[in-house]
Amino acid sequence: MAEPTIPPAPPEPPPGRAKVHMTLDVNGERQEVAFAPHKTLLEVLREDMALTGTKHGCELGECGTCTVMVDGQPVLSCLVLGLECEGARIETVEGLASASGPHPLQVAFADLGAAQCGSCTPGFLMAAKALLDQDPAPSRDTLKEELGGNLCRCTGYLKIYEAIEWAAGTLRGEHPASPLQPGATAPHVHGEGCRHG
Amino acid sequence: MMRLPAFAYRAPTTPAEVARVLASDPAAMVVAGGTDLYPNMKRRHQQPKTVVALRRVQALRGIQWHADGSLTLGAGETLRAVERDPGVEARLPALAHAVRTISTPLLRNMGTIGGNVCLDTRCNYYNQTWEWRRAINFCMKCDGDTCWVAPSSPRCWAVNSSDSVPVLVALGATARLVGPQGERTLPVAALFRNDGIAYLTKARDELLVSLTIPAQGSARSTYRKVRRRGAFDFPVASAAVRVRMDGERVAAADIVLNAVTSAPVVATEAQQALLGQRLDEATIAAAAEKAARLAKPLDNTDHLAAWRKKVVQVEVRRALESLRA
Amino acid sequence: MAEPTQPAQPAPARKPRRIVGTSYRKVDGMMKVTGQTRFADDLVLPRMLTAKILRSDVAYARIVSIDTSAAEALPGVKAVLTGKALPIPFGILPVSQDEHALCPDVVRFVGDPVAAVAAVDEETAFEAIQRIKVTYEKLTPVFDPEEAIKNAVPPLHAYGDDGNVHKRVSMQFGDVDGALAKSDLVLEDTYFFEGNTHLPMEQHATLAWQEPDGRLTVWSSTQTPHYLHRSLAKVLQMPPSRIRVVACPNGGGFGGKSDPFNHELVVAQLSRMTNRPVKVTLTREEVFYCHRGRHPVLMKARMGLTKDGRITGLHFQSLLDGGAYGSYGVASTYYTGALQTVTYQVPTYRFDGVRTFTNKPPCGPKRGHGTPQPRFALEVHLDKAAQRLGIDPADLRLRMLQPAHSVTANWLRVGSMGLGPCIEKVVGGSRWRERRGKLGRDAQGRRRGLGLACASYICGAGLPIYWNAMPHSGVTLKLDRGGGVAAFCGSTDIGQGSDTVLAACVAEVLGISLGHVRVVVSDTDLTPVDLGSYSSRVTMMSGNAAIQAAERARELLAKAVSARLGVPESRLAFAEDRVFDVEDATRGVTFPEAVVLAESRFGTIATVGSYTPPPTPGAYRGAGVGPSPAYSYSAAVVEVAVDEDTGRVDATKVWIAHDIGESINEMLVLGQVEGSVYMGLGEALMEEMAYRGNRFGVHKIPSLLEYKSPTTHEMPEVVTYIVKDPDPNGPFGAKEVGQGPLLPIMPAVANAVFDAVGVRVDEVPITPDKVLKALEARDRRYGPTSYPDLRITETMRVLTPAEGGDGKGPDARRERKPGAKEGSPR
């Protein structure tokens, strides 16, 4: 058991509604930001940093839509104080793609129909990213368990599993990022008794 | 967007400091993972003026196995850390399982074991927004006078909905509290009171610092949780059962129900009925029937109360059956 | 360019399709996976204010007074609005204009909007609405339809058929009683379908901005920008030409964003009052109050059959609990009776439907609109009939299929009909014949069973919501000299992929790759009208309009290229971003060159296409609900495991076949089928709108935690079969898939429970307590046992095609033609 790390002291919030001023590390960029001390990370990202890629569905921890990664762990940004994120490494959907292109998860989600309306998608992507960082080849049961905290009303989850599995294969170097490009054997994109689940 | 009300924020570093802040500020509440308090604050049914964050208190951390086989869990350890600890999985599988059934992986990355033990009691007349509660003229637990679950009742019937509590009680765990007057240790079972409002015996300026689970020897235990979905949902009935056999006969038995009233219920009569018996069908059925009699579910959670009462018996029976092998 | 609309024909066989029928990334796919799609709540404008709405905390009351002074005095509050300022009512149907932006005098359910505030931020607005004091004079609320009928003092609305009866319908096609009297078996039973809601992950949001020149722009998460446009003009008393509505991509809709909503009107008015942009984003609880979800429906089916398994007649009755407002309810009522006839031959048919007002959030159109409830009853009823007749339920259905290209007893014209192959697929895949009734127990000791059910759904309504003779969908194409094609259409992408369908239809016709097509959608200033993303109409209607516009552009290009190459137009092929001679592919030009040639010859290249559904054969009163250019068909087999001790039912595997006609994008078709299975399982097993009648009618569980949407743990394996029976009316033969595949799931689950444990749960959701009660019941059944006398005194008689009828009812002369989708105006 590693020695527990104790987070640094957050800035002492001023009394009342005055804003705290602090530096947040979001997607590898350190940005100064000022916000009311009772704002959640979700609100700070969307309203004070213009990072609206993180969506929300309840703000009560009941849907997983607002999932971001903090220090490598997927968490519900609606229940984290922005104030407590000083010194933390925050990753949002905006940080998934790099200058060299989209993350394999993004390619697979787009190409395999894992994003329908797209509202839950950023949360699923971040939960999936965190999972693949820990487990490069998750079983279907692991996917069900680890994504159990993200609700989707469009897909029935099946195409999400397939996209994550495909992206995991890409990250393991087994096949190209796009399941639709020539030579790739795409899972289940044609409708003759195709199995999902 | 549901938003938090404004509050003062404190982040002390020692339990004693936390206790001092709580003692000096009657409108202060502690927060660990935030997964219980913050939704309640957003709905305005818990409104501390001061939030005392526990995240910087080193003394709440640690998962420590002792030479005698007992385990001390820092109350501030995340549920994830507990369920992923190889020792917990190997030696206390019922606890690992119970923790894994809590809400969702995302929430367990944030919520703590101490937070789950102290989880505010729940009721679907109470866990609602201020506007919603105004429409029912509020309830006894917050801002009102009547317990709508049982309108003639002098007490609140909000439900203890913790998954870890019944297992900790069944395993004989103790809790260490630190308050302004110093510290004390008591059985986890003694932490709870069957009252939806004053559901903890802990004083409000006492801090739960750690939980110690004794070595289990040859005892086997299990946890069964009833809920609608495989994630998110709180239990609507649950049973933690521990049995130690002496040969083919029961030498010790612990049966603890939860989510059927405001506190975990130790089914003493059912436990007695098992002692010295073989775990045969009739013995199990009799014990399950005795245990279920203690369940008093009311209409304030998901699922029908009458159905919950029925399945308590089924779940206790199945728990005992699973420990037979 | 106004020409009579012809249904598009499938492209000639000699031209192989390159896009249609394959799977490919959605045109908005990368935006969605990078989080860059701008949903309404993601929009921010300079000087933007935030609005909050004060909602009624009583179920039914007269508003005596509203004191807003304390709210107005709060620093940061910029405007306070009450209902008196916007007295003009609105509603989606012309006959049900019964809603207000804010209730001016009466509140009808807990959650009804009463006042609104625009403030510098949401916290201030929240604080302000809490300072508004409303004095109510309480009235006696009613929470269920029978109570509403008995105790209409005072009725919720001053319009409707009588008291709290919003709509009463009774119609008969052929002699049902006579047919039943001659039947070998007459089966009668009652069923109940509980209400449930859409629960899109995105909470409704709207941003309105009255620009300095007085023009108003409204960005909203709406499935129907055109109807919102009309409602804004009506309520705000503004010329429509001064209002622009932009439907943002919807973060899920499922019908829940199909009505014009009070919050949309409220922020528009607040923007006009403040001359600043105003945004509102509803909380999840408020989304439950918007509702418009599945009506709770009590039903009674009386069916006659011959011993060899043919239906002789059906009398179907439905009682709908409409909630507090009309919404689409008149159409919903008709829909509980309209589509029973398009799956199986029903030679004589009677339908009686009643919709009542109650003091609960209004019901409306959820995925399948009005059809899942009667489909549940009918498919369970057939399962019982099969058992009584000793015929395999799959065989029974195969014997009675409605033929393709036929007209039903209630005058619906069926086109392509692939239900037979759908049944064969799921029967084969599930090994139905070998496994049904023989599955025994699983490893956990649960009893397993298989159930089968079928369904059909419309591909767009044959008639518009408000009477008019204009197209239902329009597309404008603009071709750029660089080869880019912009497609403009009023259609709204709610996740179903309508943007992709639009681009694909254009690209397929013009032989260009999808990357060269830019879609511009759902903007009333920029795009031709499309009526909206409802009734599974978008692929059918915008697809056909897109094909027409693209064919017209192709014709212009072909003329110009033909002149340049000296090749007859008929020999020119459009493929692979080129236009070339089919007999010598080396002779040709690139697509951009073709555009340059055409523009040089004809001037700027822009074309239009539009679509109006074909006329419908029925002309009786009420014939406006049910007709469609085509019908999709689905069949499903669900396998369940039932815990006899707890009553818990888990769906463990689903086989589903869907007759899509042709798939424009196969991957999207599969996604719609799987999503429908998911939503259907939620309805079958756990989702329900629950209210506390004993506590003033509050919604019992307005949260994502307590309204039970299935998680990853509840979703079983799904095997999907796409059946392609192209319909002559569909674009490239395509039919709908967004709604139909949901319909068979609920009855298939119920039938599977019967196969597993021999009990009938004639009610959804099939919750554990109901299964236990059925297991303990003497008659091994749980469900409603009686159907009330609803005082149906007059039944309209319509002769069937077989009787030599002409499709007109006895009151045909009084009927407006075409139209009156919602019945006659009052």
Q: How do residues B135-183 score in pLDDT, each as one tens digit?
A: 999 999 999 999 999 999 999 999 999 999 999 999 999 999 999 999 9
Residue by residue, DSSP assigns C739-779 as SGGGTTHHHHHHHHHHHHHS-EE-EES--HHHHHHHHHSTT
What is the pLDDT confidence band of residue C167, given thresholds at 50, 70 and 90? very high
pLDDT for C494 equals 98
pLDDT for A14 equals 63
- State yes or no: pLDDT of A38 exceeds 80: yes
| Residue-level length of chain C | 826
Residues in chain B closer than 8 A to C712 (CB atoms): 230-231
Strand-strand pairing, C311-321 and C349-356 = parallel
Residues in chain A closer than 8 A to C496 (CB atoms): 116
H-helix or E-strand spanning residue B50: strand B50-53
- State yes or no: pLDDT of C68 exceeds 70: yes
Interval A158-191: pLDDT, tens: 999 999 999 999 999 999 999 987 666 655 555 5
CA distance B75 to chain A (A): 13
pLDDT for C532 equals 97
- State yes or no: pLDDT of B223 exceeds 50: yes
The predicted model gives C58-77 an average pLDDT of: 98
CA distance A194 to chain C (A): 6
pLDDT for A191 equals 53
Decide if A151 and C709 are in contact by the 8 Å CB cutoff.
yes
For residues A66 and C166, give the distance between their C-alpha atoms in angstroms, rounded to a whole number: 41
The predicted model gives C356-377 an average pLDDT of: 98
pLDDT for C523 equals 98
CA C254, chain centre distance (Å): 6
Q: In this structure, what token pair is assigned to residue C166?
A: 């919003």
Interchain contact C281–B (C-beta under 8 A) = yes
Instruction: Give the C-alpha distances (Å, rounded to integers) separating C799 from A13, C409, C619, C805, C807.
Output: 78, 8, 12, 5, 7
Residue in C closest to A97 by C-alpha: C34
Percent of chain B at pLDDT exceeding 90: 99
Q: For residues C58 and C696, is the Cβ–Cβ distance under 8 A? A: yes
For residues B316 and C645, give the distance between their C-alpha atoms in angstroms, rounded to a whole number: 12
The predicted model gives B244-261 an average pLDDT of: 97
Mean pLDDT of chain B: 97
The predicted model gives C754-769 an average pLDDT of: 98
> Which ipTM was obtained for this model?
0.97
The predicted model gives C450-457 an average pLDDT of: 98
- State yes or no: pLDDT of B319 exceeds 80: yes
Q: For residues B301 and B236, is the Cβ–Cβ distance under 8 A? A: yes
- State yes or no: pLDDT of C819 exceeds 70: no
pLDDT for C154 equals 95
- State yes or no: pLDDT of C11 exceeds 90: no
Q: For residues B130 and B45, is the Cβ–Cβ distance under 8 A? A: yes
For residues B106 and A148, give the distance between their C-alpha atoms in angstroms, rounded to a whole number: 9
The predicted model gives B214-224 an average pLDDT of: 98
The predicted model gives B185-196 an average pLDDT of: 98
The predicted model gives A134-143 an average pLDDT of: 98
- State yes or no: pLDDT of A13 exceeds 70: no
CA distance B126 to chain C (A): 11
Q: Which of B261-270, C187-196, C315-324, C804-813 has the lowest average pLDDT?
A: C804-813
- State yes or no: pLDDT of B262 exceeds 50: yes
The predicted model gives B185-198 an average pLDDT of: 98
Interval C627-656: pLDDT, tens: 999 999 999 999 999 999 999 999 999 999
The predicted model gives C351-376 an average pLDDT of: 98
pLDDT for C811 equals 58
Decide if A149 and B63 are in contact by the 8 Å CB cutoff.
no
Decide if C711 and B131 are in contact by the 8 Å CB cutoff.
no
CA distance C752 to chain A (A): 20
pLDDT for A10 equals 75
The predicted model gives C559-569 an average pLDDT of: 97
Residues in chain A closer than 8 A to C44 (CB atoms): 50
Q: In this structure, what token pair is assigned to residue C70?
A: 């304390």
What is the pLDDT confidence band of residue C7, given thresholds at 50, 70 and 90? very low
Interchain contact A38–B (C-beta under 8 A) = yes
Residue in B closest to C57 by C-alpha: B135
Interval C476-495: pLDDT, tens: 999 999 999 999 999 999 99
In sequence order, the 6+-apart residues with CB closer than 8 A to the CB of A38 are A81, B3, B4, B5, B6, B7, B9
H-helix or E-strand spanning residue B131: helix B130-135
The predicted model gives C577-598 an average pLDDT of: 97
- The pTM for the full model equals 0.96
Phi, psi angles (nearest 5°) of residue C385: -65, -40
CA atoms within 13 A on the CB side of B282: 2
Interval C204-216: pLDDT, tens: 999 999 999 999 9
| Residue-level length of chain B | 325
What is the pLDDT confidence band of residue C8, given thresholds at 50, 70 and 90? very low
The predicted model gives B28-33 an average pLDDT of: 98
What sign does the CA torsion over C296, C302, C308, C310 have?
A: negative
Interchain contact B8–A (C-beta under 8 A) = yes
Cα angle C63, C69, C74; round to 5: 130
Mean pLDDT of chain C: 95
Interchain contact A184–C (C-beta under 8 A) = no
What is the pLDDT confidence band of residue A197, given thresholds at 50, 70 and 90? very low
pLDDT for A53 equals 98
Residues in chain A closer than 8 A to C673 (CB atoms): 191
What is the pLDDT confidence band of residue A11, given thresholds at 50, 70 and 90? confident
User: Tokens 């940005």 identify what position?
Assistant: A31
Interchain contact A112–C (C-beta under 8 A) = yes
pLDDT for C826 equals 29
- State yes or no: pLDDT of A71 exceeds 60: yes
The predicted model gives A16-29 an average pLDDT of: 90
What is the pLDDT confidence band of residue C3, given thresholds at 50, 70 and 90? very low
Neighbours of chain B (3+ CB pairs under 8 A): A, C
Q: For residues C649 and C771, is the Cβ–Cβ distance under 8 A? A: yes
pLDDT for A190 equals 53
Q: For residues B208 and B65, is the Cβ–Cβ distance under 8 A? A: no
Q: Which of A97, A118, A157 sits opposite C251 (nearest CB)?
A: A118
CA distance A60 to chain B (A): 5
Closest CA to C200 of C695, C704, C631, C608: C704
Instruction: Give the C-alpha distances (Å, rounded to integers) separating C74 from B4, C119, C129.
Output: 20, 9, 10
What is the pLDDT confidence band of residue A16, given thresholds at 50, 70 and 90? low
